Structure 1
Amino acid sequence: MLLLLSLFCIAGNAQQYMLLSPDKKLSVEIESSRQGVTVKMMKEADLLLSLSDIGIVTDQTTGALLQIKKAERSAVNEIVKPVIREKSEAYRNEYNELALTFRSGQTLTFRLFNEGLAYRFSTAFKDSLTIFRETLDIQFREGDSIRFQSEKSFNSAYEQPYEFKKLSELDPDKLCNLPVLIEKQSGKFLMITEADLYHYPGLWVKSSGGSQITATHPRYPKTLKKTNNPYSTGQVGETHDYIARVAGKRSYPWRIFAVADREEGLISNNMVYLLASPTELKDVSWIRPGVVMFDWWAKNNIFGVDFKAGVNTETAKYFIDFCAEKGFRYFLFDDGWSPKSDLLHTVPGLNMPEVTAYAKTKGVDVMLWVIWNTLKEQWDEAFDQFERWGIKGIKMDFMNRDDQQMVEFYEAVAGKAAEKKMVVDFHGAYKPCGLSRKYPNVLTREALIEFEQSGVSDNDNPRHHNLLPYIRMFTGAMDYIPATMRNANKNNFRHCWDYPMGWGTRAHSMALFIILSSPMTMLPDSPSDYNRENECTGFLTKIPVEWDETKLLAGKIGQYTVLARRSGTVWHIGAITNDDQRTIELSTDFLKPGRYNIEIIEDGINAATAATDYKLSRRQISAGEILKLAMAPGGGWLARITPENK
C-alpha cells in the first residue's frame, strides 16, 4: 500500500493560511483540504502561479488521513557572509516562515522572501522510507512563456541550448532540467529551481498540458552500463520503480519559485545560496579562488619555444611559468595526463612530482582532470596519490546524471576533496543547488553550453551569452571559460576543435570574464596566444574572481547585458550585445562622489568585420558622468574604474 503524503485534512472544511513577504508585496495563500494542499502566489493583485498536488508518495502505511496538528510562524532578518565572495561580501537573508506540521509525522515549511517563495518537506518517521514519486503541479496563465533546456531522457550533460516557447506549446515528451525561467505576459519573471539537494534525485519538470508543468525525477538506478568507452561507462541502465531510499527523519530539498519584475531581480537574487545548508568545514583558510590555465586545447597551440609541446613535463613548466608571471593561481592538467582507467600513473614523459615541486617554488597550484567513474573505482588510492603528488584541486567530468546515487557521489567528492584540502570543479554536471555553501571548496561547475562548444557547433553565440546571466547564473557559479584571443564575427566564425575561436569580438570575449560568475575562472588559450596579446592579457590579470558587490546596470534577456562588480574600491564593468549593433548610454551614478581613473577596452572601428579589433583608452571621469558604450554586432565593452587617489 502506498501512502500519499499530500497533506489531506481530516475535517471537511478547508484550512487556510496567508503568508506575506517582509515588504508585503508578495502574498501566498495556502489551503489544505481533502483535495490536498494548494498554493497561490500573488504580487499585489497579479496572480503569479498556482501550486497543487503537493505531495510525496512513499511506502509508509499508516492508514490515517493527514490532519494539521499545528501551524508555527517565524521571521528571520539577518546578514549572511559567504566564505567565497562569488557575488557579494554579504547577503541579506530575510523571510517570513510558516511551518505546517501534520499528525502523520511530516511538515511542510514555506518561506516567503521579498524575492520569491520556497517550500520543503520534512518527515519524522522511525523507519526508512522508499519514495516512489514526489508530486507537484505548477499552473501559469495562458500565454505565459518558458525558457528551458530539454532532453529526451534523464541522461544529460546539461549542455543543451535554451529553447523559448509558450507553455501551451511545450512538448509533453520533453524533460526539462532546472533552472527553467517563466516569462509572464506582464513582463515579470519566475525562476523555478531547487536548493539543499542531498540524498535525493534532482528535480525536473515536463508539460502536463495547457499552461501547466509537473514535477518529475530520475528513478533510482538498478544497473549501470559498462562500455568500452570510459566517458560513457557508469550511465544508468535499468531503474527501480522508486526515486529514492531515505532516512525516515530528514528534510527534503527546497523548491524555489523566485520572482523578478525585471532582469535586475534575476541577477540580485540569492535564494539558492541562502536556502542551502551552511558550511560544515571548520577550516576554510586553505580554499583559494583564482584563475586557471589548462592544457586541453592549449597544449597543441604553443609556439616560439624550444621544446616539443604536449602532455609532458616541459609543457607543464611552461604553463606554470606563465601563471606565476601573470599572478594566476592554478594550472590544470586536463584529459590526457593519465590512462583513462588509471589515475595512479601518468603518461610517459610526464613527471608529476617534478611538476608539482616546480609549481610550489613558483606559487602555483596544480589541478587534475578526472573521469568520475575512474575516481570512484580508485577512490582512496587516487586521493592518496594526489595528496602525495601535492595536487590542490580536481576537475571531475562526465557524470551526466542527477539520480540519488549521483547526487550522493557529488557530496562524497566534495567532502573527500575538502579532507585532502583540494578544490573542486564539476563538469558534465547538473545545476548548482547550494553544495558550494556546504562545501566552499566546490568553486565552480559546468551545466551550460560554454566555450568548448565553439569547436563543434554554433550554440555558443552572443545571444546565448545574453541568456546565461539571467538563467544559469541564477543558480550559482559557472565554468564558462571566457576571454579567448581568437575572435570571430557571425560571418567568419568557424568550427575548429583543436584551436577553437569565439563568436564575438575581442571586447565581447573579455567582458564575459566580468559578467559570468566563477570564483575559479579558466582561460582557454595557450600562454603563447596570451603573450602575443600582452595588452589584453595585462587587462585580464587585473580582474578579480571574488567580489564585494554586483549590479546589473542595464540588460534585456537575450539581447544585451551591462554588469558592474566591485572589489574593494575598484569597479569592473562588462558589457555585451547579441548580433545586433548597439549603443548604450550608461550613467556612472553607482559610483561614490569623486573623480576616478577609467581604463576601457572597447570594439575597434573595424570590429564588425575584424572581430579581434579593439581599442584601449584611459582617462578620468567624475561620478555620475555618462559613458557611451558603442558595440559592434556581437560586440562588447569593459572597464576598470579606480578612485583617483588610488
Structure 2
Amino acid sequence: MNLLSRKWTAILLIAVPFWANAQKGIELKDPSGKIQLNVMLGNTVTYSVSHGEDVIIGTSPVSMTLTDGTVFGKEPRLKKKKYRTENQMIYPPIYRKQSIKDHFNELTLEFKGGYSLVFRAYEDGVAYRFISDLKKPFMVESEQAVFNLPNNPKVFAATPKGRKIDGVENQYHSSFQNTYRYVELSKWDKSRLAFLPVLSESENGKKVCITEADLLNYPGMFLKVSSDNKGFYGEFAAYPKDISVEVRGLKGMVKTREPYIAKVEGKTVFPWRVMVISEKDTDLLCSDMVYKLATPAAEADYSWIKPGKVAWDWWNDWNLYGVDFRAGVNTETYKYYIDFASKFGIEYVILDEGWAVAGPADLFQIVPEIDMEELIRYADSKKVGLILWAGYRAFDLDMERVCKHYSAMGIKGFKIDFMDRDDQYMVDFNRRCAETGAKYKLLIDLHGTHKPTGLQRTYPNAINFEGVHGLEEMKWAQPGTDQVTYDVTMPFIRMVAGPLDYTQGAMNNANKENFKAVYSEPMSQGTRCRQLAQYIIFDSPLNMLCDAPTNYLKEEECTKFIAAIPTVWEETKALCGEVGKYLAMVRQKNDVWYVGALTNWDSRDMELDLSFLGEGEYKAEIFEDGINADRVGKDYKRKVIPVPADRRLKIHMVSGGGHVMRIWK
C-alpha cells in the first residue's frame, strides 16, 4: 500500500448515472453531479464545461501538432473509451492539511494514431491531458489549449515583465512576479501574455481559475486573449537553442529558439490543463486540485524533510547595528544570525547571494570572508540548519557534485534562483533539482521560478516556490505599486497553484502615504498586524523572517509570536473573503488554532465565526491594529481574552490592516 495514500478504485465499462453518451458528444459529471463536461468528436475534439445552469467554459478545441505533421485531435478516430471513478484519501508528508479527499470521475478516450485524451471531473473543477503511446521519440511543434469564456467576463490576470534581449522585451523571460489587472476580457492588451494562474468571473458569482498540473518535462503554458475576444488560448515558449550567459555568470538568456516547443519520448504523459471552479470566492482559498493531479511521490521515508522558519539575510541587506563587527557577508555576521535563530527556535538560516565567488559560477569557490566549515559546526551546536543560495546556472553546471558535497558537509538545502523561464529545459531543471536534492536529503526552495504545478507532491523536498509578487518587490517598487490589494487578491489565484516564497515579516510598516521604496532599509505597505497575519494566510512550508535580527530583537513580542507559528498544518479552512477586498483563514496544529485576516486599503469591521472550535472554554491571544495604526503602521495591541461562548468575535482592521489570534484550551 502506498505510504502516502489509501484508495479504492472501480473501473466501469458501461454507462452509469454520472456519464452518458449522446449525439452531441460524450458527457462526464463530477461525483456531486453539479459539474458537467461534454466532449464532442467531429473534425476536431472539442469540450465544454458547465456548473449547474451556468456555462463556465464554452465549446473549445483541443489538439497537439507534432513536427512530422501528425495532429492529435484532428479527425479523431475513437478506438476505445473507458470510465473510472476513484475515491481515496491522500496523506501528504508536507502540506497545509493532514489529509486530502481525492474523489473524481474520469473518462479516457483512446484514439487510433497512438494517443489518448483523459478528462477528470472533481466537485470543484475539471482537467484534461494528452497521453502518447507512440513508440519512438518525437517533437511537439505546438499545442492547442483553448478556454472560451462566455459573455466577455472580467478577469484577474498578470502579465510578465519581460527581460530585454538585444534591447527588445521578451515576455518568455520573466520572474513571474507582477500584480494583477482586473479588466474585461475584451480590454486585455492582445500583445501581452498572461502567466498562470488566471481567474475569470462567471455567472451567479462563480469563478474559474485556469492553471496546469503535473508539469515535469514540458514548457509551461501562458495565455493570450483570442482575436474575437471569446476567451484565452495557450502559448508556449519554444525549446531554447542559443543561450548567452548573464548576471555574473548565474543566469542564461535565450537568444534563439528551436522550431518546436518540446522533445519527448514516445510514451509520454503530458501536463493537465486545469479549471478550478468556485461557487463562492472562499472555495479557491483551500483548493487541493493541483496537488491531487500531480504524480504521487515514490514510496520512501520522508521524515527527514523538516519544514520551518528561516532567518533571511538578503531583504534586510545584512543591516545589523549595535554590534562590534562590520556586518556583511562574513562569518561574524552569520554567527549573529545563527544566535538569533537559536534564541527564538527558528530552524534555519539562509546564506543568500554573496557566499560564493561571483563570476565563475562555481559553487565550490567560497569567498574568503566565509569559513563554511566553522559556520556549519557553529550552527549545528545551536541546533540551527544552514541553507545556501545558488544561481540556477551555477547549480546546473555541477548539480550532482554540489549536492553530494554540501550535503556531506551538513548543509540542509538550497535556495535556487534566476531561472526566470519555463521553457521545457527550465521546467526539467526544476524537476532535476528536486530529484537530486532528494537523493542527498536536501530541501529545495525554487526561487526565481514559475508557479508550482504539483512538484511538491512528486518530490516532497521541493518545499517552496516563488512566482509571486512578494515582499522583495517593496525594495524597488515603482510609485503606484499596490501590494496591499495584491495581498488580498493573490491567495485566490496564485495560491491555488501551491505554496509561495513570499518572504514576509517586515518590522518597518508604513501606510499608503508614508511608504517609499528603500533598497537597503526596506519597509512594507500596511500594518504590523498585516505582516503577522501573512504567516497564517500564506502557504509556505519554509517561511522567511525577512527583516534584520536587530529589528526583531527590538520587537520580541511579535518575533516570539511569528517564531511559534507552524508552517505545515493538520487543518486549513477559509472563514470569509472576497477577491481583492478581504479574507480570513484558520489553521490548526496540535490542538492550537491560528486565525489570520487581511483587508485592502479599506478599514473593515468583521464578525468572525469561530464555530469550528469544539466544546469547552478557550483562550485567544490577539494581535490587532492599534488605534493609530492607520497613521503609524507599527502600532498594534496585544491582548488575551476568553473566546465568547457564542463563538462570534468582532474585529476591526484599519486601512491596509490585519488581525491575528492564537486559540487554545
TM-score, normalising length: structure 1: 0.95
CA–CA separation in structure 2 for the residues paired with 1:136 and 1:359? 49
Shift of 1:267: 1.2
Contact 2:312–2:350 (Cα < 8 Å) also in 1? yes
Supply the AA of the counterpart residue of 1:234: G
Partner of 1:406: 426
Aligned to 2:30: 21
Cross-structure match for 2:407? 387
CA pair 452-299 structure 1, distance change in 2 beyond 3 A: closer
- Residue 198 (structure 2) pairs with residue 217 (structure 1): no
Residue correspondence of structure 1 range 234-249 to structure 2 within 5 A: 234-249=252-267
Question: How far off is 1:296 after superposition?
Answer: 1.0
Aligned match of 1:39: 47
- Residue 504 in structure 1 maps to residue 526 in structure 2: yes
**1:558-610 C-alpha deviation (Å, 9 max, x unpaired):** 11111111112111011111111111111211211221010000011111101
1:435 aligns with 2:455: yes
In structure 2, what is the Cα distance between the partners aligned to 1:357 and 1:57?
A: 55
Question: Over aligned residue pairs, what C-alpha RMSD do you find?
Answer: 1.6
Equivalents in 1 of 2:511, 2:249: separation in Å?
36
The offset of 1:15, in angstroms, is: 6.5
Partner in structure 2 of residue 69 of structure 1: 79
Q: Distance in 2 between matches of 1:240 and 1:623?
A: 66
- Amino acid across the alignment from 2:612: F
| Corresponding residue SS for 1:616 | strand
Q: Residue 593 of structure 2 aligns with which residue?
A: 571
Contact kept, 8 Å, 1:316 with 1:355, in 2: the verdict is: yes
Partner of 2:97: 88
Aligned residue for 1:335?
Answer: 353
Match of 2:642 in 1: 620
Partner amino acid, structure 2, of 1:118 = A
* C-alpha contact 1:450 1:460 (8 A) present in aligned 2: no
8 Å CA contact 1:111–1:118 kept in 2: the answer is yes
Cα shift at 1:309: 1.4
CA positional deviation for 1:61: 6.0
SS at match of 2:643: strand
Aligned-partner Cα distance in 2 for 1:509–1:308: 29
Matched, 1:117 2:118: no
- Deviation of 1:55 after TM superposition, in Å, equals 0.7
- 1:71-100 Cα offsets, whole Å, 9 max, x none, are 110101111111102x21011100001100
| Contact kept in structure 2, 1:589 and 1:623, CA below 8 Å | no
Structure 2 residue aligned with 1:265: 283
Equivalent residues in 2 for 1:119-134, closer than 5 Å:
119-134=128-143
CA pair 228-364 structure 1, distance change in 2 beyond 3 A: closer
Residue in structure 1 matching 2:567, options 527, 540, 545? 545
> Within 1, Cα distance between the matches of 2:633 and 2:206?
35
Query: Structure 2 vs 1, CA of residues 328 and 101 (structure 1 numbering), >3 Å: closer, same or farther?
Result: same
Looking at structure 1, the residues matched to 24 and 148 of structure 2 have their Cα atoms a distance apart, in angstroms, of 21
Quick check: 1:251 aligned with 2:251?
no
Could you tell me which residue of structure 1 aligns to residue 606 of structure 2? 584
1:390, CA displacement in angstroms? 1.5
Identity of aligned residues (%): 36
Shift of 1:376: 1.4
**Does the CA contact (< 8 Å) of 1:483 and 1:511 recur in 2?**
no
State yes or no: 1:98 paired with 2:120.
no
After the TM superposition, which of the residue ranges 454-463 and 128-137 deviates more from structure 2?
454-463
Are 2:462 and 1:462 equivalent residues in the alignment?
Answer: no
Of the structure 1 ranges 531-540 and 220-229, higher mean CA displacement relative to structure 2 is found in 220-229
Instruction: Decide which of 325, 329, 343 is 1:307's aligned counterpart.
Output: 325
Does the CA contact (< 8 Å) of 1:601 and 1:615 recur in 2?
yes
Q: Is the 8 A contact 1:401 1:429 kept in 2?
A: yes
Residue 156 of structure 2: which of 136, 142, 147 is its match? Answer: 147
1:226 corresponds, among 245, 248, 265, to 245
Q: Does structure 1 retain, via aligned residues, the 8 Å contact 2:471–2:504?
A: yes
Residue 310 of structure 1: how far off its partner (Å) = 1.2
CA displacement, residues 203-248 of structure 1 (integer Å, 9 cap, x when unaligned): 11101121321111100111112346435x4121101111011011
Do 1:143 and 1:185's aligned partners in 2 also have CA atoms closer than 8 Å?
no
What amino acid maps onto 2:242 in structure 1? T
Residue 321 and residue 110 in structure 1: after superposition, are their counterparts in 2 closer, same or farther (change >3 A)? same
User: Taking structure 1 as reference, are residues 142 and 358 closer, same or farther at Cα in structure 2, changes over 3 Å only?
Assistant: same
Gaps of 5+ in 1: 1-12
* 1:28 CA drift (Å): 1.2
- Shift, 1:185, TM fit: 4.4
Question: Are the counterparts in 2 of residues 582 and 632 from structure 1 also a CA contact under 8 Å?
Answer: yes
Once the two structures are TM-superposed, the CA of residue 149 in structure 1 deviates from its matched residue by 1.2
Secondary structure of the equivalent of 1:259? strand
Query: 2:543 maps to what in 1?
Result: 521
**Residues 14 and 32 in structure 1, CA contact (< 8 A), matched pair in contact too:** no
Pairwise CA distance, 1:52 = 2.3
Instruction: State the distance in 2 between where 1:317 and 1:525 align.
Output: 16
Cα offset for 1:531? Answer: 0.8
**5+ long unaligned stretches in structure 2:** 1-21, 163-170
Contact 2:124 2:278 in 1 (8 A): yes
Aligned match of 2:179: 161
Partner amino acid, structure 2, of 1:455: K
| 1:401 Cα deviation from its structure 2 partner | 0.5
Q: Which moved more, 1:202-211 or 1:52-61?
A: 52-61
Distance 1:641 1:227, change over 3 A: closer
- The answer to whether the 8 Å contact 1:451/1:460 transfers is no
> Is the CA contact (8 Å cut-off) linking 1:220 and 1:239 kept in structure 2?
yes
Aligned equivalent of 1:555:
577
Residue of structure 2 equivalent to 1:7: none
User: C-alpha deviations, 1:301-336, integer Å up to 9, x for none?
Assistant: 212222221111111111111111111111000011
Task: Tell me, in whole angstroms, the C-alpha distance in 1 between the residues paired with 2:533 and 2:52.
Answer: 37
Q: Residue type of the partner of 2:535?
A: F
1:426 correspondence with 2:434 = no
- 1:230 and 1:636 map into 2 onto residues whose CA distance is 41
Q: Name the aligned partner's letter for residue 283 of structure 1.
A: D
Equivalence map 1:633-644=2 (5 Å): 633-643=655-665
Q: CA deviation at 1:137?
A: 2.1
CA distance in 1, matches of 2:540, 2:645: 28
Residue 317 of structure 2 contacts residue 521 of structure 2 at CA under 8 Å; is this kept in 1? no
Q: 1:623 and 1:266, CA in 2 relative to 1: closer, same or farther beyond 3 A?
A: farther
- 2:552 alignment partner, SS class: helix
Contact 2:509–2:528 (Cα < 8 Å) also in 1: yes
Counterpart in the other structure of 1:57: 65
1:189 aligns with 2:207: yes
Count of residue pairs brought into register by the alignment: 628
Q: Does 1:370 align with 2:398?
A: no
Check conservation: 1:563, 1:574, Cα contact below 8 A.
yes
